[in-house]
Amino acid sequence: MRTFRLAALVLGIAAVDQAVKVMVKLTFLPGEMRPVFGRAFRLTFVENNGFAFGLTLHDLAGSWAGAWSAVEAKYLLSVVSLLAIGLLMYALWRYREHRSALPWMLAVITGGALGNVIDRTFYGWLFAERNLYQGGWLQGRVVDMFCFDPSPGSFAAPVFNLADVAIAMGVFSLLFLQHRFHRQHKERLAAERSDDGKEG
């Protein structure tokens, strides 16, 4: 039952993320901005060709990545993203019975990662006639739309999507709460064994 709920959380996050992205992709022009709360929070249609904040393999690897063409680098990024999804799913399966919020945070991260991987894998082909870039399988760009800029014009505010929010929340939880998760797991497991002993 827990496995089903974890899978539902993963698919639910990815589905909502995709619904928002498709809506933006079909109804916004590239670069179009629509205010929600003035300019402090707005929807801005941006397509990200790399990792977070638009970083690409060329940005991260320097001269080593320079040997790759833009298309080849994009293929590599997409394949690495697919492998990362596989590793996340393995970790989620391994820790699915952990007696803490750990598996739920892994599910949140996996759902966000899946949402962005769908863009990279399918959008280059699915929206080939609408894209302003070379399309094809594994050549898609991630659709971003949320821009929080409390002080407009003071800095270049990042544009992100729901999947990015899920990944950030999950990763920060694992980084700062992992010791609590493992302590809760040990305490709850000990309590369960104690209860089993009393019943026996």
3-state class (DSSP) for residue 148 = strand
> What does the alpha-carbon distance between residue 47 and residue 77 come to, in Å, rounded to a whole number?
15
Q: Write out the catalytic residue numbers.
A: 144, 164
Region of residue 31 (phi > 0: left; psi between -120 and 50: alpha; otherwise: beta): left
Among candidate residues 197, 98, 106, 116, the one with its CA nearest the CA of residue 164? 116
> What does the alpha-carbon distance between residue 179 and residue 169 come to, in Å, rounded to a whole number?
17
Q: Tens digit of pLDDT per residue, the chain (200 long)?
A: 899 999 999 999 999 999 999 999 999 999 999 999 887 899 999 999 876 655 565 555 555 555 667 777 788 889 999 999 999 999 999 999 999 999 999 999 999 999 999 999 999 999 999 999 888 999 999 999 999 887 766 667 889 999 999 999 999 999 999 999 999 999 888 888 776 666 65
pLDDT of 194? 78
